[in-house]
Amino acid sequence: MDTRSPAATEIERRMALLNLNKKRLAELAGLNETYVHDILRGKSRNPGGDRLEKVAAVLGCTASDLLRGGAAGNPGPAAARLKALRERAGYTVRALARDVGLGDRFSSYAFYENKLKKEYIPVELVRKLVPLLTDRGDPPIAASEVWALSGIVPGATDLNESISRAERATMPTQADDGAITVHEYDISPQAGAGAIVDHTACGDGEGHPTLDSWRIPRDFIRNYLPDTGGLAIIRVAGNSMEPEFAAGDRVLVDTGHRVPSPDGVYVLWNGMGVVIKQLMLVPNSRPPRIRIISVNPTYPVDEVDASDLVINGRVVGKWVWK
């Protein structure tokens, strides 16, 4: 029986896909090889924090994906089709990543084969893939097969609704009209204890349906936040944060803020799922420890080492209708 952390199995799976050994993985993550070794050997059964985030970034996923292991689910149909076309064309992940202009950032390409749950591949990536994959393989790949990854039917008079959805998910967040676009993602973060949320720690929303895109005046946001990048809108579910955050409330999350300072409300991984909780630094604790607090007093207060927290972002706003 494998008694290691679920992260160990998932790290091994992704290492094999990217043809990495533990030494190279540690080098790319900027970590000591011992850290990766201890996870894979089962000496570290509860990995977390910034170091696991660095490992996940190299592997083209998030720390939450690694900790959930196989529970994260299989890639979507577009991801499977993309992988099949790449293999049929005789490309490795690394080689195709280089040819589409990603250089050594092969994990960025691997995301689309390993983690993407959406129905279509982004149009901009498919445009680069068409000349690279067409006429390769046996039987030769047709251009229409590659375009189909993004839902485009060559010769059609217009883009279909599927392409509109794919482009909306990757549309620019800044515009010339003085407004920013903030996407609302269907990631259902639970305010109740122990609920799992398939949320990307980097906050880009890839792999999650985009429910809507909100246009907000840039100057209004900058009255409260100097950096308007990495913002996301999500909805609360559960009752552990009532009355401050009720089920159905829309909250604005700064996914770039992943250090628990100052005290406040954060979206974090708690070992079983991703939850919204209030975080408070324990005064004079060495090493630093964090209290995890629910506003609803019927839920218990927890306390963990700061290094064990995996924070996805800080809640910086809430929609209030009166």
Is residue 39 in a domain?
yes
Structure tokens at 267: 């979206």
Number of structural domains found in the chain: 3
pLDDT on residue 266: 92
Q: Dump pLDDT digits (tens) for 179-188.
A: 888 888 765 5
Please report, for the domain that includes residue 253, its CATH number.
2.10.109.10
Tell me: do 206 and 312 sit in the same domain: yes
The pLDDT of 201-212, averaged and rounded, is 46
Is residue 138 in a domain?
yes
The pLDDT of 265-286, averaged and rounded, is 81
Tell me: do 227 and 309 sit in the same domain: yes
Tell me: do 60 and 83 sit in the same domain: no
Mean residue pLDDT across the chain? 76
Q: Provide the whole-model pTM.
A: 0.46
Is residue 174 in a domain?
no
pLDDT on residue 281: 92
pLDDT on residue 72: 45
Tell me: do 68 and 81 sit in the same domain: no
Q: Decide which of 72, 87, 107 is a domain's last residue.
A: 72
Tell me: do 40 and 114 sit in the same domain: no
Is residue 68 in a domain?
yes
Tell me: do 200 and 144 sit in the same domain: no
- For residue 315, is pLDDT > 70? yes
Tell me: do 32 and 103 sit in the same domain: no
Please report, for the domain that includes residue 24, its CATH number.
1.10.260.40
Which of 48-57, 126-135, 161-170 reaches the highest mean pLDDT?
126-135
- For residue 161, is pLDDT > 50? no
Domain residues for 160?
A: 77-169
Is residue 279 in a domain?
yes
Tell me: do 256 and 195 sit in the same domain: yes
**What is d(CA 177, CA 217) in angstroms, rounded to the nearest whole number?**
9
Tell me: do 162 and 281 sit in the same domain: no
Give the lowest-confidence range in 3-7, 167-171, 248-252, 291-295: 167-171
Confidence of residue 243 (pLDDT cuts 50, 70, 90): very high
**What is d(CA 22, CA 36) in angstroms, rounded to the nearest whole number?**
6
- For residue 246, is pLDDT > 50? yes
Please report, for the domain that includes residue 126, its CATH number.
1.10.260
Tell me: do 304 and 255 sit in the same domain: yes
- For residue 70, is pLDDT > 70? no
Q: Decide which of 169, 187, 222 is a domain's last residue.
A: 169
Tell me: do 259 and 275 sit in the same domain: yes
- For residue 203, is pLDDT > 60? no
Give the lowest-confidence range in 75-84, 152-161, 254-263: 152-161
pLDDT on residue 45: 67
Is residue 144 in a domain?
yes
Q: Decide which of 72, 95, 117 is a domain's last residue.
A: 72
